[in-house]
């Protein structure tokens, strides 16, 4: 893990008041939305998570993908709960692929810095 990302995550956690965590935790444990998952059955879906996520274990992502047989499941190696900060290139690549699958961007388009897309051959 990039030391800067680790320090950022540590500062974020330390700045969260303990009473906020205490109030949030029971709701997090009871959060169950699998009944609405069928709404995504006919949509292009990307289920992406870090394989070392201690907050939301990869089994949760696997269960979601299991309920959506056409979903793309990506478990990013050596990534935790902040996968988008730990491995931004992997997240960006998978999101670009999802956008191409939906037709939102042309197939083969690349994503540059700041999310700008470039067309193939440009």
Q: Is residue 7 part of a domain?
A: no
**Domain containing residue 93: CATH number:** 3.40.50.1820
DSSP alpha helices (H): ranges in the chain?
A: 3-14, 18-30, 58-67, 83-86, 88-102
Q: How many domains does the chain have?
A: 1
pLDDT tens column, 46-87: 999 999 998 888 999 999 999 998 899 999 999 988 999 999
User: Is residue 75 helix, strand or coil?
Assistant: strand
| pLDDT at residue 61, as a whole number | 93
Q: Is residue 120 part of a domain?
A: no
pLDDT tens column, 7-18: 888 888 888 888
Q: Is residue 86 part of a domain?
A: yes
Among residues 47, 37, 40, the alpha carbon closest in space to that of 73 is found at 47
- Domain of residue 107, residue span: 32-115
DSSP of 48-69, one letter per residue?
A: EEETT-SSS-HHHHHHHHHHST
**Residue 5 burial (C-beta neighbours within 10 Å; 0-12, 13-18, 19+):** middle
Residues 102/110, Cβ–Cβ less than 8 Å: no
Q: Is residue 22 part of a domain?
A: no
């Amino acid at each position: 893990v990039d030391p800067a990302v680790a320090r950022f995550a540590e500062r974020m956690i330390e700045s969260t008041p303990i009473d906020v965590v205490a109030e949030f935790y029971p709701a997090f444990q009871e959060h169950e939305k699998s009944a609405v998952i069928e709404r995504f059955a006919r949509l292009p879906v990307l289920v992406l998570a870090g394989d070392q996520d201690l907050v939301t274990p990869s089994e949760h992502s696997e269960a979601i993908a299991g309920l959506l047989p056409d979903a793309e499941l990506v478990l990013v190696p050596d990534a935790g709960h902040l996968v988008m900060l730990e491995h931004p290139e992997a997240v960006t690549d998978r999101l670009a692929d999802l956008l191409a699958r939906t037709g939102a961007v042309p197939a083969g388009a690349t994503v540059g810095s700041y999310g700008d897309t470039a067309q193939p051959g440009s």
